[in-house]
Structure 1
Amino acid sequence: MPYLLLAGAIVLEVLATINLRLSEGFSRLAPSVLVVVGYLGAFGLLSQVLKAGVPVGLAYGIWAAAGVALVAIVGAVFLGDTQTPVQYGGIALVIAGVLALELGGTH
Structure 2
Amino acid sequence: MPWLLLFGAIAAEVTGTISLRLSDGFTKLVPSLVTLAGYGTAFWLLAQVLKQGMNIGVAYGVWSALGVALIAIIGALFLGENLTWVQVAGIGLVIVGVLALEMGGAH
CA distance, structure 2, for counterparts of residue 65 and residue 106 of structure 1: 19
TM-score, scaled relative to structure 2: 0.98
> Deviation per CA, 1:18-71, whole angstroms, max 9, x where unpaired?
011100000000000000000000000000000000000000000000000000
Residue of structure 2 equivalent to 1:8: 8
Residue of structure 2 equivalent to 1:33: 33
Q: How much does 1:84 deviate?
A: 0.4
Q: How much does 1:106 deviate?
A: 3.8
3-state SS, counterpart of residue 34 of structure 1: helix
> Deviation per CA, 1:55-97, whole angstroms, max 9, x where unpaired?
0000000000000000000000110111000000000000000
Residue of structure 1 equivalent to 2:95: 95
Identity %, equivalent residues: 62
- The answer for unaligned runs of 5 or more in structure 2 is none
Residue of structure 2 equivalent to 1:52: 52
TM-score, scaled relative to structure 1: 0.98
Runs of 4+ off more than 3 Å: none
- The answer for unaligned runs of 5 or more in structure 1 is none
The amino acid of 1:22's aligned partner reads: L
RMSD: 0.6
CA distance, structure 2, for counterparts of residue 11 and residue 78 of structure 1: 16
- Paired positions, count: 107
CA distance, structure 2, for counterparts of residue 104 and residue 47 of structure 1: 23
